[in-house]
Structure formats: C-alpha cells, structure tokens
C-alpha cells in the first residue's frame, strides 16, 4: 500500500545535486514549483526525462531522496509508464504509429522493414547507439495514415521503402556531421541559462 502523501514542505538541507550538472537545476525548479509533494512524482520524472533524455539510476535516487519516497516506489512508477526510458536513446529515433488506422493501412510492414534493415527490435536501440526504433499507440493523425515521427518530424502516408531510405539518409547524415547526439540536452541547458 502506498504511503499517504505527507504535508511536509521543508526542502532538504543539501541543495542541488553534488555533481553540479546544470540540468539538475531544472529538476530542482520543478520540485520547488510542486512544493516537494510526493504526488508530483510523475511531473518530476517528466522534467527529468526531458532534461536528460533518459532516467539513469542516480537520477532516480536523487528524485526519490528529494521527494522522500522509497526507491522501489520510484522505480515502480518509472517502469509502469511507457514514456519513461531507463536506457539512453539512440542519436536518431523513429516512432512508427501502430494505431488502428495506421495498422489497417499496413504500418506493421514498415516496422518489419525497419527491423530487417537495421537489425533492431521495436523498442530497442542499435548496438552502436545510432538508431532507436519505437512504436506508438496512436499519434492521433489518423487521416494521414500510416504516420511516423523521424527525429521529431512527422512523416505522413509512408511506405516501407520510403521510410527505410529516409532513415538511411538520416544515419548517413549523422556520420558526416558527427556529434549530433549531444543535442538532446541542448534546449534544456539554454533554458537554465535564460533563468
């Protein structure tokens, strides 16, 4: 049984994360805004995932301490929701919508083609950390089925062939420019500096 939320509002003595990583300031800000309430766990996890791209173990420990929640509780919540990832994501990601409308328009074939081409199961990242293949329940763009999101860009009415070639182009482009992976945290950092 979950512990009842306490009304305790005192921020803990230790301020911030010892590493001094500025991204922890984002988390601290969310914690403060939500008054360190234990009910705010999901909100805080959202902020953490946005800032870091994934929820590393020490991040979960930090959040659990700040909210005074048991570690297993935080871990249980973080693994219950599909939005949270405990592993680092690839430099590029492709989310294929597997909603009903996309499914009847053969989105499964797109997933199969990507799996075969890049040797990665849905929900996983290639061993070299370049590419993550994900599926979504429904992106709510059923009129444009089948839909997928490649690095945040929505692509409509795709076929297996067109998708594979676009992903291949992305990966080739990444090799040329290099160091693309760091960009995940960039917007978050700018936000910290702006404050």
**Sign of the alpha-carbon torsion through 128, 131, 132, 133:** negative
Rank residues 136 and 164 by Cβ distance to other proteins and give the closer one. 136
Among 79, 159, 162, 183, binds other proteins (CB under 8 A): 79
By CB under 8 A, tell whether 119 contacts other proteins: no
Which one of 139, 150, 167, 174 is in contact with other proteins (CB under 8 A)? Answer: 139
Residue from the set 33, 104, 165, 168 that interacts with other proteins by CB under 8 A: 104
Site for other proteins in 152-181 (CB under 8 A): 154, 156
| Number of residues lying near other proteins (CB under 8 A) | 49
- With CB under 8 A as the contact rule, which of the stretches 17-25, 142-150, 163-171, 180-188 interacts with other proteins? 142-150
Q: Is 54 in the site for other proteins (CB under 8 A)?
A: no
70 binds other proteins (CB under 8 A): yes
Residue 141 lies near other proteins (rule: CB under 8 A): yes
- Residues in contact with 193: Cβ distance below 8 Å, sequence separation at least 6, in sequence order: 22
Give the contacts of 22 (CB within 8 A, at least 6 positions apart): 189, 192, 193
CA 2, CA 29: separation in Å to the nearest integer? Answer: 25
- Residues in Cβ contact with 44 at an 8 Å cutoff, skipping those fewer than 6 apart: 27, 30, 31, 34, 63, 66, 67
Residues near other proteins (CB under 8 A) are 1-3, 5, 38-43, 45-46, 57, 60-61, 70-77, 79-84, 98-101, 103-105, 136-145, 147, 154, 156
């Amino acid at each position: 049984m979950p512990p009842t939320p306490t009304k305790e509002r005192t921020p803990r003595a230790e301020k911030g994360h010892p590493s001094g990583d500025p991204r922890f300031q984002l988390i601290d800000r969310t914690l403060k805004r939500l008054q360190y309430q234990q009910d705010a766990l999901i909100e805080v996890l959202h902020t953490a995932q946005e800032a870091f791209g994934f929820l590393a173990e020490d991040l979960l420990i930090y959040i659990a301490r700040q909210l005074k929640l048991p570690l297993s509780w935080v871990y249980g919540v973080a693994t219950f929701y599909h939005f949270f990832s405990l592993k680092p994501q690839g430099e590029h990601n492709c989310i294929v919508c597997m909603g009903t409308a996309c499914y009847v328009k053969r989105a499964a074939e797109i997933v199969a083609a990507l799996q075969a081409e890049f040797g990665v199961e849905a929900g996983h990242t290639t061993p070299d950390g370049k590419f993550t293949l994900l599926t979504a329940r429904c992106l709510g763009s059923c009129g444009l089925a089948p839909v997928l999101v490649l690095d945040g860009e929505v692509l409509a009415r795709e076929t297996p062939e067109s998708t594979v070639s676009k992903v291949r182009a992305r990966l080739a482009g990444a090799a040329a420019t290099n160091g693309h992976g760091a960009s995940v945290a960039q917007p978050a950092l700018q936000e910290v500096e702006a404050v």
